[in-house]
Amino acid sequence: MIVKSHEKGWKIITQRSHGLLAAMIAYQYKIDLPNEIMVPTLIAIAEHDDGAAETLQDKNLTEMGAPRDFTVGDDPKKTSVKQKQSVMEIATSKSQLNALLTSMHINFIFEDFDKNQDKSLDTFLKDQAKNRTEILKHLNIDKKYADRLYRFVEWCDAFSLLICMDQIQPEGRKMEISESPDGDMNQTYYKSEDVISVDPWVFKSDSFKVFYEYKIIEQLKFDSIEEFNLVCSKTKVQRKEFTLEK
């Protein structure tokens, strides 16, 4: 989950909502990909963090019972192998390309992982490396092409996170997004309130709208993850809209 403090309590954005925003961004990106590549890639971008009910994961509450942002903790990368296996099962059941890109994303997250920290995760990551090699052969895709596709996934993911985490700097100050599919480094900034631009501009349209959904949880602490899930389920959904403009 993405958790931000709010004057009324907590602002909660699920990883799935962030993923949908990333897919909206990807849909507008000016990149020449055939339909049989583009559609599975969009799905991988939207669903790469799925696989678990976020409001029912114990790790999403702190020891004091507050909602935990995914970046907070002794090890923000710590996760259950079961959840990653579920992500891969979902991706693999759709297509080999979905499985490849999702596996590449998992590898990107854990590329600096200490194998002595979690043996089961280490085994899973090694199995995924073998799996990616087999998929590349099966699809007859070379690694250079796959790397470009994954940079597209990661760029859209990174941009979506900057928006959802409210990290884009105010007053028009530019900040880097990530390396683009073609190796360029793009910057983003606010042109005005809720109007965001990218330099250089990489999209098909000169202007388009995107959004993410969120909830404001007014209760500050919870006795259990089940209580947190119940409160979340009863809280109304709100929408934050942005215009991306050249």
Interval 109-128 mean pLDDT? 82
pLDDT score at 51: 66
Instruction: Transcribe 57-95 into DSSP letters.
Output: -GGGB-TTS-B--TT-SS-TT---HHHHHHHHHHHHHH-
Q: Diameter of the chain by CA atoms? A: 53
For 157-216, the pLDDT digits (tens) are: 999 999 999 999 888 899 999 999 998 899 999 999 999 999 999 999 999 999 999 999
User: What is the rounded average pLDDT for all residues in the chain?
Assistant: 91
Q: With cut-offs at 50, 70 and 90, classify the pLDDT of residue 86.
A: confident
From residue 17, give the alpha-carbon distance in Å to each of 169, 186, 207. Answer: 22, 23, 21
Burial 44-83, CB ≥16 within 10 A → b, else e: bbbbbbbbbebbebebbbeeebbbbbbeeeeeeeebbeeb
DSSP helix/strand/coil, 212 = strand
Amino acid identity at 142:
D
Let me know how long the chain is: 246
Orientation of helix 15-28 relative to helix 143-164, angle to 10° = 120
Interval 52-63 mean pLDDT? 85
Classify residue 178 by its DSSP letter. E
pLDDT score at 115: 66
- Comparison of pLDDT for 49 and 70, the residue scoring more: 70
From residue 189, give the alpha-carbon distance in Å to each of 109, 123, 157, 193, 206. Answer: 25, 41, 17, 11, 15
pLDDT over 60 at 76, yes or no: no
Interval 103-128 mean pLDDT? 84
Contacts of 48 (CB under 8 A, 6+ apart): 19, 87, 91, 101, 102, 105, 153, 157
For 2-33, the pLDDT digits (tens) are: 999 999 999 999 999 999 999 999 999 999 99
Amino acid identity at 117:
Q
CA dihedral of 140, 143, 148, 151, whole degrees rounded to 10: 120
| This prediction's pTM | 0.91
In 3D space, the residue among 229, 225, 239 whose CA is nearest the CA of residue 164 turns out to be 239
